[in-house]
Amino acid sequence: MPDRVLVVEDLYTAYGLSQVLFGVSLGVAAGECVCLLGRNGVGKTTTMRSIMGLTPPRRGRIAWKGQDITGREPFKVVSLGIGFVPEDRRIFADLTVWENLDVASRRQRSGGWTVERVYDLFPKLRELRDRQGGFLSGGEQQMLTIARTLMGNPELLLLDEPSEGLAPLVVEHMTEQIGRLKREGLTILLAEQNVEFSLDLADRVYVLEKGLIRYEGSAREFREDESIRHQYLAL
């Protein structure tokens, strides 16, 4: 498909001697929300880390808007317009909410995200702006980690399990805000185990198992195909 902004081809990634990805290929079109589903430990995070250059792949190719970015340093990948929201959130515990946002602000990229605008998206963060990151609740940390990545003005957001460990009400709020980002034109690649959460947002779905893509289809097809869900996801 020519309109795909992100193209991942035949990715092999390992941590030292332990090989995790065995030829992952996927694509994301501009404005799309694509979900990468899979059980624990199948390589969702590793796929995202490979794209970001945090764990460069041994083999394979990653192209962003036609440009080869395989193995580029993370800060360069960010400067080209890809943002990563890690599943373990990685808030700078001794920095305040505002400071966490400020270190992530990339003014050289256009996109218009400012501290005020992310406070508008997550009003709770405005109240908490002077609190140290280490003293936030899980849900507040999740808002902050997304807000922080937005400060880099990404065109593509890699969102790693944003619903993990959150109370149902907070997950609902998160769905709403991510949906809002999508409507504003942000392209999203979402890694999830929570099928309900993903299907509320996704246009298309990939299912990853043991380092390989086992299924690819539209969110609607996937919703209707019980057998796939039973086969690859513990439901």
Partner 1 sequence: MPDPSFIFAQSLSGLTAAMYLFLIASGLSLIFGVLRVLNFAHGSFYMLGAYGAYQLVQWLGTGHGRFWWATLGAALGVAILGGLVERLLFRYLYGKEELYQLLFTYALVLILSDVAKIFWGTQQKSVSRPPGLTGSFSLFGTTVPYYNLFILLLSPAIALGFWFVLRRTRAGRFIRAAALDRETLGALGVNVDRLYLGVFMLGSFLGGLGGALVTPVKSIVPGMDTEMIVEAFIVVVIGGLGSFWGTFLGALIYGQVLSFGILFVPRFSIFSVFALMAAVLIIRPWGLLGKPLK
Query: How many whole angstroms from its chain centre is CA 91?
Result: 16
Site residues (CB under 5 A) for Mg ion, limited to 21-50: 44-45
20 near ligand ATP, judged by CB under 6 A: yes
Q: Could you tell which of ligand ATP, partner 1, Mg ion, none binds residue 40, using a CB distance below 5 to 8 A set by kind?
A: ligand ATP
Closest-CB residue for Mg ion? 45
Note the residues at the interface with partner 1 (CB under 8 A): 52, 54, 73-75, 78-79, 84, 86, 90, 92-95, 99-100, 102-104, 106, 148-149, 151-152
Q: Could you tell which of Mg ion, ligand ATP, partner 1, none binds residue 193, using a CB distance below 5 to 8 A set by kind?
A: ligand ATP
72 phi-psi bin (left φ>0, alpha ψ -120 to 50, beta other): beta
Site residues (CB under 6 A) for ligand ATP, limited to 157-186: 161
Instruction: Give the contacts of 26 (CB within 8 A, at least 6 positions apart).
Output: 8, 34, 36, 47, 206, 213, 216
Q: What angle do CA 120, 84, 223 make, to 5 degrees?
A: 85
DSSP E strands in 53-106: the ranges are: 59-64, 67-68, 82-85
Q: Could you tell which of partner 1, Mg ion, ligand ATP, none binds residue 110, using a CB distance below 5 to 8 A set by kind?
A: none
Q: How buried is 116 (Cβ within 10 angstroms: 0-12 exposed, 13-18 middle, 19+ buried)?
A: exposed
Q: Could you tell which of partner 1, Mg ion, ligand ATP, none binds residue 103, using a CB distance below 5 to 8 A set by kind?
A: partner 1
- Minimum Å gap between C-beta 197 and ligand ATP is 13
String of contacts with Mg ion for each residue 104-133, x by CB under 5 A: ------------------------------
Expressed in percent and rounded to 5, the helix, strand and coil fractions of the chain are: 35, 30, 35
193 near ligand ATP, judged by CB under 6 A: yes
110 near ligand ATP, judged by CB under 6 A: no
CA dihedral angle for residue 118, residue 151, residue 36, residue 198, rounded to 10 degrees: 0
Tokens (6 digits) for 183:
């409507």
Interface residues with ligand ATP (CB under 6 A) are: 15, 18, 20, 38, 40-46, 87, 161, 193
